[in-house]
Structure 1
């Protein structure tokens, strides 16, 4: 019943998003006597893998008559979005001299087939669309790129591993590791999975495999865990990293700090392993909100840089993007950009907060500390700088462990990934904990800096075990006079928890293995 309700709510939310985007992206194609679209936009059917019909639109540069060849960009649609999603950006790219083919991913809206969740058929579809573009448009076979938001980003990365013709990719708000995205810390990301599942049922036709995997995921059937992980690995670009590196694909990755569907850590890890031309951009916001205004035709840094990326790696334009620091971060606090030579340089300067006090926490009760609501909370943080808050002094200590730093005399810049190391003793063999890092002001009000869940199974009750947990990466400034607080509880609406009734968790700090939270701090 809980799952069905979340499906219904999440589906309505995504439906509203799709309807909201559609008016800004609508286009009409007029046709002259010869049958050519004067506006350069055509709506076509493309035969995908196995003959499945993919609904698509094609935008060509003005005046293209077949005598010249142009670089081509292929854009698979986002999860649950209609084929007009990218028309605004497609027109901008066409005006800059690109052929652009956008298509509705199989199983969604009017495209045929069933939802494969970036499976082998989706990857094969991408190659079929490239085949069609090279045969039916003035596209240059030596200058092929792919891009997309969310689902389109995931498919683009996977396709680049399997199709050597793809020279450049811009993967925005996507995933490189599907399991590390919605099952990080071995914990089901409930709201994220329900949102995707509900939207899939509302706007498409989930195949039997997806239905089974999603059902097992939400029902916490541990006997199906290995199957689920294998399913996710097949759909993760990191599995095919060697192929992408061998192809030398130029990869641009963009994401939001607060992405509650595809958190930033897995993108950062993937970025570090890429060997070809690469760029990583993180900005404030939640899933796809960093690119959303660009889909509506408004100024947007993410799309501007994606265009520059293709200009450099498909056209050979000397626009300077390859001379900039390849890691570009926009702070949640100041809105300014910072450049770094690589991801490991972002988190340099780790400082530890000792977690000396032993804390006993009863499970199954939400202490009031939580990560917010999928899509909504971090969207508010993006535009209003209002992250989820909690009154740290009022958190019930029976249900939450709390440790605090000293007050800082100067601004402390959190950049990168905070890491928790602690020792846990549980009264039951299974359990879930959620760690939160808060910026605490003089009155005790804590603003959420980061969080992450952790679930364990098969532990011996009463026997201590160590926990190492990476919190979600971020860029946040702690004002002078404030302190940082680590809070740990056992319930968060974002996640499925595995705490048996009556369970208790004890967090201790043995002298031989002290507990701490390591935070990437830079003093201003």
Structure 2
């Protein structure tokens, strides 16, 4: 940060915000051997049992005031003397509300402020245009937010109660904010713990070129903003109302994304090709230059699970844990303990054993007699998995065959499709099987358990009677009693089928550049080849169960359908000139 600007920020902090002695805090103890390598169970003794907090506004370079909450370890009701590492959260409010996107589970991201017990200062900052902060949100994770993160990190790293080591955490929208903080090379940023974020926003939010994503960011009314607790000194909510009214000048994110059908679409509202501006992937060279350690959290039932795995491939040294979790949830896993182990290593220099762990921890759903089990890996995709093709036939799936006999079947597309009871809603929304919808092809009952771990691939030929069509394919598990469970899915807009080489590393999956010039309309009745990936999974099909693929042209999660991509029927084709198959990454035992 420029010296003059840093001095201005320090001068404008309210009295007491930088209180504390200049001596170093208590020397951290070496992690006990019993916890040094205990994945998800790190639990050294507490150093403190009290916490004090204060809230205030901090001005940014353009004068925009951001709301800050600082929680510090305390003794006898007063802030503990000494300097401590800082962990902060670039959130939607400074008081961590339920709608801020860090998950509802206790023991998860929302419990991070409890790390003051272990000698950390924990800080919450409402991003500009959100919560108690002033300003107007421009898009979602633009460079304004990234530059705010730089200023905040440098401010946090130079306070009298700070050791100079700053870590950042977040999940969902705040996980994205943490990733963007890695793009500005703030000298005091020393570690990032981020979950359920997008590596590339187009691939995450318009997966396969289709707007079938739940997330379009916060859009809150003045009344909703007025419901959050105000900053200290603003008990009458005068400043909060001013901030809430400024927020309303922002452009509704749904309208922005709906107007950007291609990766290179220009946003007139934001005056940029915003898929590029808002993607962490666009700043890969800056991230690599910063060399900040990164720990990623994902879930096999989260819409963004592939994004974390791809980010790990592109950021050397990054770690990842993926459980059988929904968006920003972690069930009974001790997530804060694992974050604590990570931050103790990189912010306090303690040998917690984390450096000796393989970088990938993943849960295999249905393994170990259906209980599931945790496994570790050094690389992804797993070297022991192999892509096995399943050919399509009139009698169902044929394993290890790309083509068996000519096959052509048309299925109707129902655009009135509604979610089934188990689909959930909001950030937890899931695809669901709709009986009688689309075309379902199943294999024979399995003679033994089959593990699928990795990214499935679809290589399909279709024809339609419209200039475009959306194709969804679900991998499903059919139990002996006929109950159907969706394991994972893939999708692609037919007009954006052209393949290209991605500007970042991928786990052996197809990539579509999806520029406007790449769009290729369909000719009615003429077959076209669609190649795309399934979102990754780790799932064991039990003995006696059957593997099924269901093909549809619509999905209840679609946010805004393209009128050019609504055929009445889609024809799925497989013959010698147009061999169709779906391949799954089966793990050898």
Same fold, TM exceeding 0.5?
A: yes
**CA shift at 1:444, angstroms?**
3.1
Match of 2:131 among 109, 114, 117: 109
Paired with 1:223 and 1:279, the residues of 2 have a C-alpha distance of 31
Name 1:176's counterpart in structure 2. 199
**CA shift at 1:308, angstroms?**
1.0
Alignment of 1:1-40 (within 5 A): 39-40=51-52
Alignment of 1:266-415 (within 5 A): 266-275=307-316, 277-290=317-330, 300-333=333-366, 334-345=371-382, 348-356=385-393, 357-365=407-415, 372-375=423-426, 388-391=432-435, 395=436, 400-415=438-453
Are 1:51 and 2:71 an aligned pair? no
Match of 1:191 among 208, 214, 228: 214
Match of 1:466 among 525, 529, 540: 529
Name 1:62's counterpart in structure 2. 74
Q: Is the 8 A contact 1:245 1:274 kept in 2?
A: yes
Name 1:156's counterpart in structure 2. 178
* CA distance 1:307–1:424, shift in 2 (3 Å): same
Name 2:7's counterpart in structure 1. none
Paired with 2:582 and 2:416, the residues of 1 have a C-alpha distance of 22
**CA shift at 1:95, angstroms?**
1.7
Name 1:233's counterpart in structure 2. 276
DSSP 3-state at the match of 1:491: coil
Paired with 1:503 and 1:463, the residues of 2 have a C-alpha distance of 15
Name 2:576's counterpart in structure 1. 511
**CA shift at 1:335, angstroms?**
4.1
DSSP 3-state at the match of 1:492: coil
Are 1:76 and 2:87 an aligned pair? no
Name 2:509's counterpart in structure 1. none
DSSP 3-state at the match of 1:345: coil
* CA distance 1:358–1:302, shift in 2 (3 Å): farther
Paired with 1:70 and 1:45, the residues of 2 have a C-alpha distance of 22
* CA distance 1:93–1:39, shift in 2 (3 Å): closer
Deviations 1:238-273 (A, max 9, x none): 11111111211101111222223xx21122112111
* CA distance 1:452–1:373, shift in 2 (3 Å): farther
Q: Is the 8 A contact 1:150 1:173 kept in 2?
A: yes
**CA shift at 1:438, angstroms?**
0.6
Paired with 2:67 and 2:123, the residues of 1 have a C-alpha distance of 10
DSSP 3-state at the match of 1:51: coil
**CA shift at 1:84, angstroms?**
6.0
**CA shift at 1:338, angstroms?**
1.1
* CA distance 1:170–1:500, shift in 2 (3 Å): closer
* CA distance 1:150–1:502, shift in 2 (3 Å): closer
Match of 1:455 among 487, 493, 502: 493
Q: Is the 8 A contact 1:374 1:494 kept in 2?
A: no
Q: Is the 8 A contact 2:209 2:261 kept in 1?
A: no
Name 1:27's counterpart in structure 2. none
Unmatched tracts of structure 2, length 5 or more: 1-15, 22-49, 103-108, 226-243, 394-406, 496-520
Q: Is the 8 A contact 1:422 1:468 kept in 2?
A: yes
Name 1:249's counterpart in structure 2. 292
**CA shift at 1:99, angstroms?**
1.9
Could you say which structure has the higher helix fraction? 1
* CA distance 1:272–1:207, shift in 2 (3 Å): farther
Paired with 1:438 and 1:88, the residues of 2 have a C-alpha distance of 33
**CA shift at 1:159, angstroms?**
1.0
Structure label with greater radius of gyration? 2
Q: Is the 8 A contact 1:49 1:121 kept in 2?
A: no
**CA shift at 1:304, angstroms?**
1.8
Unmatched tracts of structure 1, length 5 or more: 1-30, 294-298, 380-386
**CA shift at 1:479, angstroms?**
0.9
**CA shift at 1:353, angstroms?**
0.8
Q: Is the 8 A contact 2:20 2:160 kept in 1?
A: no
Alignment of 1:480-499 (within 5 A): 480-495=543-558, 496-498=560-562
Q: Is the 8 A contact 2:215 2:427 kept in 1?
A: no
Q: Is the 8 A contact 1:172 1:288 kept in 2?
A: yes
Deviations 1:377-404 (A, max 9, x none): 669xxxxxxx94555xxx25xxx12222
Paired with 2:300 and 2:426, the residues of 1 have a C-alpha distance of 12
Q: Is the 8 A contact 2:185 2:286 kept in 1?
A: no
* CA distance 1:336–1:375, shift in 2 (3 Å): farther
Paired with 2:569 and 2:112, the residues of 1 have a C-alpha distance of 55
DSSP 3-state at the match of 2:337: helix
**CA shift at 1:446, angstroms?**
1.5
Name 1:5's counterpart in structure 2. none
Paired with 2:426 and 2:274, the residues of 1 have a C-alpha distance of 25
Name 1:264's counterpart in structure 2. 305
Paired with 1:81 and 1:287, the residues of 2 have a C-alpha distance of 21
* CA distance 1:352–1:145, shift in 2 (3 Å): same
DSSP 3-state at the match of 2:462: strand
Q: Is the 8 A contact 2:73 2:79 kept in 1?
A: no
DSSP 3-state at the match of 2:174: helix
Are 1:427 and 2:460 an aligned pair? no
